[in-house]
Structure 1
Amino acid sequence: MTGATVLASALGFAPGTALALLTLAVGVLFVLGVPILLVFSTWVLGFAVLFPAFGLQNTSVAAYYQLWTFPLTAVPLFILVGALINQLQIARDIIGLSRSLAGWLPGSAANTALLTSGVFSAITGSNAATTASVGEAFTDELREEGYDPVFSAATIAAGGTLGIVIPPSVLFILYGVTFNLPVSDLFVAGTLPGLLMLIGLITTATVISYRNDYGTDEYAFDVREVLRSVLKARNSLLAIVVLLGGIFTGVFTPSESASIAILFVVTAEFLSGNIRGTAFLVESVRLTIYLVGIIIPVLVTSIMIQQSLSFLDLQDLLSNAILALDAPILIGSVLIVVMLLSGSVLASIPNMILVAPLLAPAAFALGISPLMWGVIFMISDAIGFITPPYGLNLYIISSITDIDYMRIAWGALPYFFVLTSILVLFFVFPELNVLAA
Structure 2
Amino acid sequence: MGIIAVVFILALAIGIPIAFVLGVSSLYYFLFLGNIPLSMIGQKMYSGIDNYILLAIPFFILAGELMNRSKITDALISFSNILVGRIPGALAQVNIVASVFFAGITGSGVADTAALGSILIPAMEKEGYTAEYATAVTVASSVIGPIIPPSVVMVIYSMATGESVGALFAAGYLPGILVAFSLMVLSYYYAKKHNHPRRTNKIPMKEVIYTMKESIIGLMCPAILVIGIFSGYFTPTEAAVIACLYAIIAGLFLLKTMSLKEVFDSFLSAAVTSSVTLLVIALANLFGQVLAIERIPSLIANFMLNLTSNKIIFLLMVNVFLLFMGMIMDPGASVLILAPIFLPIALTYGIQPLHFAIVMLVNLNFGLITPPVGTCLYAAAPIAKLSIEKISKAVLPFIGVELIALMFLTYIPELTLIVPRLLGYIY
Taking structure 2 as the reference length, what is the TM-score of the superposition?
0.93
Equivalent in 409, 414, 422 of residue 431 of structure 1: 414
Aligned to 1:7: none
The one-character-per-residue Cα deviations of 1:181-229 (angstroms, maximum 9, x if unpaired) are 1111110111111111111112221221221111233455888765442
RMSD between aligned residues: 1.9
User: 1:13-412, aligned counterparts within 5 Å?
Assistant: 19-50=1-32, 54-220=36-202, 226-272=208-254, 274=256, 277-328=259-310, 329-412=312-395
The one-character-per-residue Cα deviations of 1:29-84 (angstroms, maximum 9, x if unpaired) are 21010122221111111222246564210121222222221111111110111100
CA 192–92 in structure 1, closer or farther in 2 if over 3 Å, else same? same
Task: Tell me the distance in 2 between the aligned counterparts of 1:224 and 1:312.
Answer: 66
Which shifted more, 60-69 or 359-368?
359-368
Task: Tell me the distance in 1 between the aligned counterparts of 2:143 and 2:258.
Answer: 34
CA 278–341 in structure 1, closer or farther in 2 if over 3 Å, else same? same
**Aligned residues between the structures:** 419
- Say whether the 8 Å CA contact 1:101–1:221 is kept in structure 2: no
Aligned to 2:423: none
- Say whether the 8 Å CA contact 2:309–2:349 is kept in structure 1: no
The one-character-per-residue Cα deviations of 1:103-138 (angstroms, maximum 9, x if unpaired) are 111111111111111111110011111111111111
- Say whether the 8 Å CA contact 2:100–2:144 is kept in structure 1: yes
Aligned to 1:14: none
SS at match of 1:251: coil
The one-character-per-residue Cα deviations of 1:138-166 (angstroms, maximum 9, x if unpaired) are 11100000012111111000111011110
CA 324–196 in structure 1, closer or farther in 2 if over 3 Å, else same? same
CA 53–230 in structure 1, closer or farther in 2 if over 3 Å, else same? farther
Which shifted more, 76-85 or 223-232?
223-232
- Say whether the 8 Å CA contact 2:252–2:259 is kept in structure 1: no
Task: Tell me the distance in 2 between the aligned counterparts of 1:405 and 1:326.
Answer: 38
- Say whether the 8 Å CA contact 2:175–2:415 is kept in structure 1: no
Gaps of at least 5 residues in structure 1 are 1-18
Task: Tell me the distance in 1 between the aligned counterparts of 2:146 and 2:36.
Answer: 32
**Structure 1 residue 365, shift from structure 2 partner:** 3.0
Gaps of at least 5 residues in structure 2 are 421-425
Task: Tell me the distance in 1 between the aligned counterparts of 2:264 and 2:239.
Answer: 22
CA 54–371 in structure 1, closer or farther in 2 if over 3 Å, else same? farther
Task: Tell me the distance in 1 between the aligned counterparts of 2:383 and 2:354.
Answer: 36
Task: Tell me the distance in 1 between the aligned counterparts of 2:89 and 2:64.
Answer: 27
State which structure, 1 or 2, has the greater radius of gyration over its C-alpha atoms: 1
Task: Tell me the distance in 2 between the aligned counterparts of 1:416 and 1:29.
Answer: 28
Task: Tell me the distance in 2 between the aligned counterparts of 1:53 and 1:252.
Answer: 45
CA 109–353 in structure 1, closer or farther in 2 if over 3 Å, else same? same
Amino acid at match of 1:336: N
CA 28–219 in structure 1, closer or farther in 2 if over 3 Å, else same? farther
- Say whether the 8 Å CA contact 2:158–2:165 is kept in structure 1: yes
The one-character-per-residue Cα deviations of 1:407-436 (angstroms, maximum 9, x if unpaired) are 222221221121111211121121332124
Amino acid at match of 1:345: I
Amino acid at match of 1:210: K
- Say whether the 8 Å CA contact 2:110–2:379 is kept in structure 1: yes
Aligned to 1:417: 400
CA 220–108 in structure 1, closer or farther in 2 if over 3 Å, else same? farther
Greater RCO (CA < 8 Å, at least 6 residues apart): 2
CA 165–276 in structure 1, closer or farther in 2 if over 3 Å, else same? closer
Task: Tell me the distance in 2 between the aligned counterparts of 1:318 and 1:22.
Answer: 16
Amino acid at match of 1:213: N
Task: Tell me the distance in 1 between the aligned counterparts of 2:94 and 2:278.
Answer: 33
Task: Tell me the distance in 2 between the aligned counterparts of 1:52 and 1:30.
Answer: 22
**Structure 1 residue 377, shift from structure 2 partner:** 0.5
Amino acid at match of 2:248: V
Which shifted more, 216-225 or 147-156?
216-225
TM superposition outliers: structure 1 runs of 4+ over 6 Å:
221-224
- Say whether the 8 Å CA contact 1:101–1:226 is kept in structure 2: no
- Say whether the 8 Å CA contact 2:70–2:258 is kept in structure 1: no
